[in-house]
Structure 1
Amino acid sequence: MKLKLRDKYVLVTGASKGIGKAIALGMAREGAHVAVNYNSDKAGADEVVEEIAAMGRQSFAVRADIADVGQIKEMFGVIADKFGRLDVLINNAGITGWTDLFEVTEEKWDTVINTNLRGTFFCSLEAAKMMKEAAGGSIINISTICAELGVKNLVAYASSKGGIHAMTKQMAVELAPFNIRINTFGPGATNVDRNLQDDPSYKTTWGAMVPLGRTAEPEDMVGPTVFLASDDSAYMTGQLFFVDGGWTVRGKIPESNMDAALDKHR
């Protein structure tokens, strides 16, 4: 079987757990060597590295808080030293920042925006510098359906991801002459530990909102990412789509669960 990403060098941010972990492992299964970024969960990142190494791929964990541009630059320096080049960047790391609209503080707003939007931009910029020298590459941003639907208690989160949508289009135009593609997709309700801990009935409650009748597993995000990372999408840049079981088509939100999740984060 032909591997779609054989010997590609990939960085996945926020890859110690959840969707990022699934994507990192999925890249490796398709033949890629993977740098596993984490901020606080070193043990989780090390486990992902071990699983990738067991597949016969190169992998290492690299710590960086992507809200800090200095740490981003240091991380890309490590990648340049260890890999020599970067073919694919997957901007997955992000925070939710649950807050009632009238309780949003400047500190909360800045924390979410700095991680999700500023961090994604500066990771993309550093990746593009490396890709420009290598005559091309693919940047993939992981967004959210919250930036499309409008939901309670997540104004900073949705705003940060909406900014990524606009940034994707802008950077696609500016990077196209260097054969660097950038695309974004937004997962719908996904069974990651954070969501399941916030709401024990998450799968049932949120699955009822989805036309396909279920919430997503993190592995459901692997196929779209492989597509965007590979030559299968060679003529695709500046695009946004959702991997949500049709949720953005229906547009229903369980508001009581949004309030319950907020209470847990106060």
Structure 2
Amino acid sequence: MSTIGKRLLQLGIAVLATSASVSALAQTAFTSSYRGGTSSLCTSSYTITGYEPSTSGKYPVYIHTVGTGEDYNSELTMTQVKAMAAKGFVAASVEYASGSFGSCSTIGAKARCIFNGSNSNSAIAKLCARAKADCSKGVVTGGLSQGSIVSVLSRNYDSRIRASYGQGTGTNYSIYNLSSCMNNGGHTQAADRIRIVNGESDSFVGPTASNVRTASQAITGLSCGSSALSCFRSNGSGWYIVKGAEVEDGSADHCYMLVGGCTARTLDNGFKTGSAAWQMDANQNWLKSFVTP
């Protein structure tokens, strides 16, 4: 091999090593608190729990909000938070009044308490004040079910939020019609900065794949036809409908990423380790594409 060839090989190896280290940064746990609630008063104390890179530096921020009745530090949540920290984020799960659902105004009030950057007691203000956080590099959000609604609404309250990801994200949940705040144009987050993934047999968003598709189209402002199960723009925004055959337990329900449904604790192995459009890594990499390293 020529001297030039050897040098190019060495450079290639160095680049690969650097890439690997960036994608799997060591992490340090942290906890904090903020003032939240179900009204604009935001008077109740809630916990923030997260991870951040152990290495020195300044990092963008990821904020995760859980589904109704889900523990803010559940295995599903913390697996995603840890993975985002490993990708170079100050990443956290934010506890909030998730025990009950509500209308656009009720859930919007919860989102405001979390994401109002002008309120020094909000969760986003507390996270952006961390020594390793640099929110000028961008903030991205994610969540499940009610938490996915909060995620999409987040940019209503802070323009630093660059992209939002949702799992189990709809416009109608039982008696609650959220179309006024969740349909494209009803929220501040741009249509091409939203990515949602829903199961084809989601009983809350659906219950049929057709219903799920209608909700996905309404929220993202993107349609790919009456039979599409995947619909993405060139930048990766859009939606995906998970098929039962893709998940471990054969049921792509509201909690398709859990084996046995929303009351289960075992994570779908493919969701944890795979790279398909509905799995964790692909969606987190999409979020990462909108922040400054």
**TM tier relative to shorter chain:** 0.3 to 0.5
- The structure with the larger Rg is 2
Higher relative strand content:
2
Q: Which has the higher helix share?
A: 1
